[in-house]
Amino acid sequence: MTTARLQLIDISKSYPGVRANDAVSMSVKPGEIHAVLGENGAGKSTLMKIIYGAVKPDAGSMLFNGQPVQIRNPQEARALGIAMVFQHFSLFGTITVAENVWLGLDRSLSLAEVAQSISAKASEYGLDIDPTRPVHTLSVGEMQRVEIIRALLTQPQLLILDEPTSVLVPQAVEKLFVVLKKVASAGCSILYISHKLHEIRELCDVCTVLRSGKVTGVCQPAQESNASLSRLMIGAEPAALTRHQPRPGAPVLRVQDLSLAREDQFGVDLHHITLEVHAGEVLGIAGVSGNGQRELLYALSGEDVRSSAGSIQMGEHDVSGLGPGERRQFGLHFVPEERLGRGAVPSLGLAHNLLLTRIESISHPRFAGGWIAVERLERQAKQIIQRFNVKASGPRAAARSLSGGNLQKYIVGREIDAKPKLLIVSQPTWGVDVGAAAQIRGEILALRDAGCAVLVVSEELEELFELSDRLHVMARGRLSPSIAAAKASVEQIGEWMSGLFQTDHAQA
């Protein structure tokens, strides 16, 4: 029999109040694409970090190519031939793509050689990226490409991918799958974490299922259905979305002829953006990452206040020059795509993270005589944790201690709990398991049915078709005409994502 590339024997790891891995055993063959499936908080990411040396297990043993190993840090893992792409990126924002990649490679290579290698690999894999760009100018989707290219450049024997397609559009996912199958055919083993069940069925040879830190099953995904994989993962199929006929009211957000020059050389200029979001409707914006979505969201949230007077209105109020706090007073709440750093302060507890987007009011009191009313704050955080089924040790748990999907549920829950008049959400279910994704989408539709205006920016077309009443597409800083979601097709939206649409300012 072929020696296993990786063998785990009774791996266990506990944190205060949480048993992340409970006697996990698993075997991965050379050239095998092996999925690890489980709901948010099931212990998948912890297990991958143990294999990569970023976390030390409490008990258990590991064999690599048949030899017992104790990997004390990621450097030792890379020396063995193990590479990992994390769900939360490990990139330095102040330096370039090439410099970030250079840090993890053989320093005998010059920076110019590394940049050339990045360009060659990016072209080969269809993951377009400029090695000279500073990382802080990249969108989340572009950062994902950098991480994948960096890992593949090390020519690993075992490649660990934690939610690698969460911010990639379908065309890019197809190209990535071609690459991964090619890498596996050359003998590299791949450990693949994803909540997208159709991806696992299409790509993976074997699937190990985790629930509450324990292995609950091993299967061949190609022989399973989405429903059967859901049952293995969460014990049930996710509830079907209930959609009611929309009853749009008055416009809550009006954007009129918004044009903005990019703030840095790698940004995207916005050209004549015009849109309306009505009370009681969900407006979706599709598009490939890096086409101006970030710049538009900065302008709408109030982080960029350069908009000309009258170009952004909420109801009868011109909010073009107002910052985020002032816009919240008019009922605008925003969920950014970057969970850690913008959506939440990593070192703060969940309760104190509530203070980021709460204004003082009778309905949401947070101060008492100039002091933070901690008990009241923790009580409110606990209600959000329970309502959105967030797996955390409690309201004092640091944001960075949560799995990506659980933190996403908390941040979305925090903004929905604020009872907004206008909710803007970027990538609402990025890295979230199928059950939690169904819950978040259901809450968004319930908010819309209660009269809230909702703007959703997502790179997942399936999600946008499920949620949206109307759709726009963003391409090269321009916005397509609006189309009713019921009348749109995937093919048409795909064409528009390539910029093939006409606007009133098409010749501008």
The encoded tokens of residue 175 equal: 């190209």
Closest CA to 176 of 221, 122, 224: 122
Spatial distance between the Cα atoms of 376 and 366, rounded to a whole number of angstroms:
7
Spatial distance between the Cα atoms of 372 and 367, rounded to a whole number of angstroms:
5
Instruction: Count the alpha carbons within 13 Å of 163 in the hemisphere toward its beta carbon.
Output: 22
What integer pLDDT is reported at residue 508 of this predicted model? 34
| Strand residues in 144-213 grouped as ranges (E) | 158-162, 189-193, 206-211
Element (H, E) at 203: helix 197-203
CB contact set of 421 (below 8 Å; sequence gap of 6+) = 252, 279, 314, 330, 331, 332, 452, 453
Kind of pairing between the strands at 422-426 and 453-457: parallel
- The DSSP letter of residue 322 is -
Binned at pLDDT 50, 70 and 90, residue 468 comes out as very high
What integer pLDDT is reported at residue 171 of this predicted model? 67
The superfamily CATH assigns to domain 238-331+420-508 is P-loop containing nucleotide triphosphate hydrolases (3.40.50.300)
CB atoms within 10 A of CB 82: 26
Cα angle 262, 268, 270; round to 5? 80
- The DSSP letter of residue 71 is -
Q: Percentage of the chain surpassing pLDDT 90?
A: 62
6-234 and 238-331+420-508 have identical folds: yes
Tokens 């933070």 label which residue?
A: 372
3-state secondary structure 240-297: CCCCCCCCCCCEEEEEEEEEECCCCCCCCCEEEEEEEEECCCEEEEECCCCCCHHHHH
Spatial distance between the Cα atoms of 218 and 468, rounded to a whole number of angstroms:
36
Instruction: Specify whether the CB–CB gap between 37 and 207 falls below 8 A.
Output: yes
Spatial distance between the Cα atoms of 22 and 285, rounded to a whole number of angstroms:
42
Tokens 């409110």 label which residue?
A: 380
Task: Tell me which of 126-135, 244-253, 292-301 is least confident.
Answer: 126-135
Cross-strand bridge partners of residue 129: none
Q: Higher model confidence: residue 230 or residue 450?
A: 450
Residues, the chain, total?
508
The encoded tokens of residue 33 equal: 């694409």
Strand order in the sheet with 59-64: 18-28, 6-15, 59-64, 67-69
Binned at pLDDT 50, 70 and 90, residue 169 comes out as low
Judge whether residue 306 has pLDDT over 50.
yes
Judge whether residue 264 has pLDDT over 50.
yes
What integer pLDDT is reported at residue 340 of this predicted model? 86
Judge whether residue 399 has pLDDT over 90.
yes
What integer pLDDT is reported at residue 293 of this predicted model? 94
CA 195 to chain centre: 11
What are 76-122's pLDDT values in tens digits? 999 999 999 887 778 898 999 999 999 877 778 899 999 999 999 88
Domain map of the chain by residue range? Answer: 6-234, 238-331+420-508, 345-414
What integer pLDDT is reported at residue 453 of this predicted model? 98
Instruction: Specify whether the CB–CB gap between 272 and 257 falls below 8 A.
Output: yes
Q: From residue 184, give the alpha-carbon distance in Å to each of 15, 181, 206, 270.
A: 34, 5, 13, 41
Binned at pLDDT 50, 70 and 90, residue 506 comes out as very low
Q: What are the percentages of helix, strand and coil residues in the chain, rounded to 5?
A: 35, 25, 40
Spatial distance between the Cα atoms of 378 and 350, rounded to a whole number of angstroms:
8
Q: Mean pLDDT across the stretch 254-260?
A: 97
Element (H, E) at 444: helix 434-449
Q: What topology is assigned to 6-234 in CATH?
A: Rossmann fold (3.40.50)
* Largest distance between two CA atoms of the chain: 73
Q: Mean pLDDT across the stretch 406-431?
A: 93
